[in-house]
Structure formats: C-alpha cells, structure tokens
Amino acid sequence: MPDLRHTDIQYLHGVGPKRAELLRKELGLSTYYDLLYYFPFRYIDRSVINHVNELRGDEAAVQLRGRFLTFNSVGEGRKRRLQALFSDGTGTIEVVWFNRVASIQKTYNTNTQYVLFGKPSMFNNHLNIVHPEIDLAQAEHVAQGLQGVYNLTEVLRNRSFTSRAIHKLVLTLLDTPAVRHIDETLPPELVHRYHLMPLAEALRNIHVPSDHQSLQRAQLRLKFEELFFLELNILHYIKGSSRRLVGHVFSRVGAYFHDFYNNILQFPLTGAQKRVIREMRQDMGSGKQMNRLLQGDVGSGKTIVAFMTALIALDNGYQACIMAPTEILAGQHLETIRPLAEAIGVKVALLTGSTRKRERTAIHEALQNGELQILIGTHALIEDTVQFRNLGLAIIDEQHRFGVAQRARLWSKNRTAPPHVLVMTATPIPRTLAMTVYGDLDVSIIDELPPGRKPVTTVLRHEPDRFKMYQFVGAQLKQGRQAYIVYPLIEENEKLDLHALELGYEQVMEVFPHYNVAMVHGRMKPAEKDHQMMLFASGKAHILVATTVIEVGVNVPNASVMVIEDAERFGLSQLHQLRGRVGRGADQSYCILMARNDLGRDTRHRLQVMTQTNDGFVVAEEDMKLRGPGDMEGTQQSGIAFNLHIANLAQDGQIIQMARNAAEDYLRDDPKMETPWGRKMAAHIREIFDKQANWGLIS
C-alpha cells in the first residue's frame, strides 16, 4: 500500500507529469497526502435548480436546467470567443467561452437539455455566465447534493483546470486502497470520548458530504485533529523544556526594588501591574528560565513593570537589557527609565547604531566589568562586540518587529545559563491566538489603564466633512494642544503615497498658517527625522504630519488629536496603535478617521469597530476575524510556525480549548509519549512539524 505522504501526485490516474507540475507550482500539491488534505473552502447544494428570471447577477453560484438557443463565434485569433444564449423557460442568459472555442462548438448543440453550473454576473446590463460547468440533464453523473468548491489560481482557470477537475481527482484518490484503509491518527479512547467521526469517514465526507450533518461532523473531526496535534506538540515541548532549561535563581527582592517602590515611584501601581510583577517574581525565583509574554494596551504601564522586573535582576547581582525595534523607541525608554534609575544609584546607558565610537567603547567596557547595570538599545545589542559580565534578564519590546534569529542572539550573551526572557507587545493578541501561536510562553496581561486616563473618542468622517475636521483641530490648537495628521505610506504605491504626504503637508500649512508644522516619514535621513520629531515632542511644532513611523515610540502627552487620512488603507491593529499616540495625558483626546465615501461593507465595519471600542483585545479579535490569523502582526515570526488546512483560530476557539484539554489529559498519562500510541503520535507530529524551526526557546 503506497505511503500517502511520499507518493508523487503524478501517479494518480488522471494527473500525469504535466498536470502534476501545474498542481505543484500553483497549489503546492505534490503528493497524494497534499491532495487529500486540500479541502473545499465552501459547499454548494447541487440539488437546487435556480431560475433565470430570479437571478440578480450577484449570486455565488447557480444551477440552471434548459437548452441553448443560439451559438455565435465572435472575433479572430486570440481574441476569438464563443457566445451562446441559454433558456430555462423563465428567461434567457448569455454564456461565454474564451478558451477551447472550436471544441465547445462541437460538443454542445441546440437540441439537447443541459444542466449549467456557474457564477452569474452583469455585463452591459445583461446576465451572463463565463465558462460554466455543463452536464447532460439526463446523465447519471450530474452532481447532486452538496458539492465542494476548491480554491484555484488564475493560471489554472486559464488552463481550463476547474474546481470540478480537482473534485474528480479527489474522487479517484478517495477510491484508492491507501485512503479507504487509512490508519487512524487518534487513540480510540479519544475518538470515543469526544464522539469524533473516524478519520477515513471524515476525509470522505469533507470532500463528498452525504448531508449537512455529516459535513459538520467531518469538519469537527478534522479541525479537532489538526488543533490537537498542534497543542500536543507545544505542550510536549513545554514539558520537555521545563525539565531541561535551568534558569538563574533570583531569590531575593532587595534594596533597589524596595527603594524605588517605597521612595521614588510617585503613583500607585494598578492591580494589573502588581499582578504581573508577582507572576514574574515567581518565575525568576523558580530555578527555571522565565519565558514570558507581557501584553498591555498602549498607555497601560508596561515600561515601569519592565523596569521593576529589571531591578529584581539587579538585586540578585545580575545585569538587564531592554531591546527595542527603533532608535526612537529605545530613546523613549531611556528618557523614562534613566531619571528613575539614577535616583536609586543604578547606571543605565543607551546603545544604538548612531552611538559614537568613543561612547560605544566606554559602554562595552562598563558592561564587561559590571559597572553598567541596565543597557537599553536597538539591534545593536546583539552585535558580537557587546558582551555582558552577567546578563540575567533580557527584555524585548515590540518583539514581533525582530526576526527570531535576531532574538536568539541575545541568548548567547550569558555563558553560564540563558537569561530570563520577557517579551512585550502593545499589539494585543487574541486569547486563542496567544494560546496557540505563543503557546510556549507564559502570558501576562496588563488589562487596566492607570487612573485618570480618559478613553479616546473616535469618529469616522468623510471628505465632505474636511472643513469641519480642520475647524475642530484648530479649536484644539487654540487650547494649547497638539495634533498628529497621519498619511499611509504603502510600499507598492511608494511614490504616489509620498506625493500625497507632501501635498498634505503643504495643505496643512495653508490651513494653519499661524502654527508650526513638522513632517516625518521613513524615507528621511535619521538625523532629520529625529530633529523633526523632537520639534513636536518639545512643543515647538504644533502639528506633526507623518506616516506610520510614529506608530510606536512617540510619547507627547500634550497631543490630543490624531487625524488618520485614508483610514480605509490601514489594518485595525495599526489604527489602534496610531490612536494610542493620543490620550496619554489627562485631557480628553480624539481620533478622527478620514475615509472616502464609497466604502465596502467589510471596510466600513472595520472602521466602525474603531469608533465603538478602545479595548485593544476587542480590536485584535475583530482584526483576526477579518484578516485571519496568518496576517496578524508577529505571527509569521512568532516561534510556532504552522499552516492550518481547515481550523480557523479566529472562529474555532471552543475547539482549540477542547483540543488543548485533550492534549493536557493525554500528556498527564503519557508525559514522554512512550506508549505505542504515544510513539505513533510523536512520529505523526514529526511529519507535520519537523520541517519548521522550533524557536520556542527564544520566545
């Protein structure tokens, strides 16, 4: 019996070398297994016959029964097309073919009844269907019941490779002995406990459902299996790493921490801040390496928590570092932390690509002799020349902006044992995504804003409202406030976007002639960019016209207005990050989303989410529902790479929890996966995940 994972798809009846190469190149289908697990993305009930007089032209797909009235060949050569008029007795619809015109003319006629299946559309105020599937109305193989629809590429469509062609290949594969007698992948007790459909039955019903109920049961089985092995891999790794990885023991909370907390800290910590500090103290005193993700919305006080955690490392005789993705953000951390550190006698320094050679040499020396206790910087921290005397804690801010290999190099900065690792993000991650993508990390959440912070008022406005928007911004400026005006700068339209930004800058200067306007974008030289940013931060500039370079790392409490131009071009998480630049002071702040009038339904919904909530976790959940987990910032370099065939992390939260519980229960009885079923599942996990680097050790 052939091995499904390693049998080339070209050997399947109906494929052959040429079609195999096409499937491999366009869909990534190389083996029998790839095709078997290439599931339909939706299903159509082929038992329903539609009527032409009921069609509007926006249906997903329809099925019509009737006769062709006429055929007409139009054009010459490559521009030749075949047009036909089809009637079902209630009305007529045009059918068009652009390929295989001569063959189609020979195949179909006006004397026979056919069943047409395809997507109708309106063209020149007439209904038409392009390249429909056609069967003889009396043929035995006319599709009935639920039929799966498979994703295709434009190249496949141009080669007349339809969804139906994929379906036929799948039917052939399902009838091979290797699939009919496929081995079960889950232990029998698990299948029984969760009332799961057997694997062979589930694979047949996902492609050829016998009815709606069977389809739902097949989907549940295959989603559960996919998520179960993902969770089993993560949890087995965690248990293994917790046995292997010894961490520095920070057994005491000493003078630095207590002096700062009792004498320097000028405001009470929130309950959430206290909770996460306790969680980290417990981790760092356990004798195992801390590997923790700290989530906190913009303005929730992550920096002060990171600093106090660093003080615990110092109290135990170790050094700490904070790595940020940009010089601006690293400098912001230094401005916040240095006065607090100096007040208790802690030496802090900043190391970035712009640090001068003499200062850099002094920093290297102070690091190696232990005089320098906290080093803040950018990717310059991971250079080979940067050597710590005794690094005990590595803090990585906005960690999704670093590659995993970059983060890994921080590990080599301590020769005796890896430092404790704290990664931070102000981009809230939905619970189901955090549980799975960051499943190898312990997660702490600061879900409480400091007292006195007022929620930002967010409104959606359109071009006719521009004058009123400028009036409102002007009123805020008269009160002594400052404003951001942000433009998109998207790579594929770089020149056009930069032009729009510069025109916007000129327009803002015309509208507000009595105020100073600064401009910042990523194409500027670092020195000029920093100068413009400092003009705004110091209050010398009243308005900052910018791109998303100000998404993180700018803290201007006096700024009370954020205007986002072409807001429809931004993702939800990015809009939320930009909004977080205001509302950092005690005054009421505002975010104005400027968008075009003719928004699509999904785009309007996305922008309305922003007007309805300030909760970053609600925003993140909606973002994942709209864009899917693979597009969430950071998941591509998160530490657990995966490619899901059927499960959806945005929609299958209950199944994720069920799969995780099942994996935990299994490992409780077979922690090393040494039983016959354990070894079998471990081999299955290796087949799935071994091609993907496991970066869990370095968060």
Q: Residues 17, 10: contact at Cβ < 8 Å? A: yes
pTM of the model: 0.64
Rounded (to 5) percent helix, strand, coil in the chain: 45, 20, 35
Which residues of the chain have a pLDDT value below 70? 1-2, 139-144, 240-245, 399-408, 411-412, 428, 430-441, 490-499, 551-554, 625, 627-643, 650, 690-699
Report the chain's mean pLDDT, rounded to a whole number: 85
Domains in the chain: ranges and CATH: 1-47+144-182 (no CATH), 67-134 (2.40.50.140), 255-446 (3.40.50.300), 457-613 (3.40.50.300)
A 10 A CB-CB count for 243 gives 11
In this predicted structure, what is the pLDDT of residue 101?
83
Give CA separation, 301 vs 198, 280, 544, in Å: 50, 15, 25
In this predicted structure, what is the pLDDT of residue 80?
86
The token pair at 613 is 């909530």
Pick the closest to residue 403 from 417, 382, 419, 420 (CA basis).
382
Q: Which amino acid is at 43?
A: Y
Q: Who contacts 691 (Cβ-Cβ below 8 Å, separation ≥6)?
A: none
Residue range 455-498, pLDDT digits in tens:
899 999 999 999 999 999 999 999 999 999 999 874 445 666 66
In this predicted structure, what is the pLDDT of residue 403?
55
In this predicted structure, what is the pLDDT of residue 148?
86
Euclidean distance between CA atoms 60 and 484, whole angstroms? 43
In this predicted structure, what is the pLDDT of residue 634?
41
Phi, psi for residue 116 in degrees, rounded to 5: -100, 140
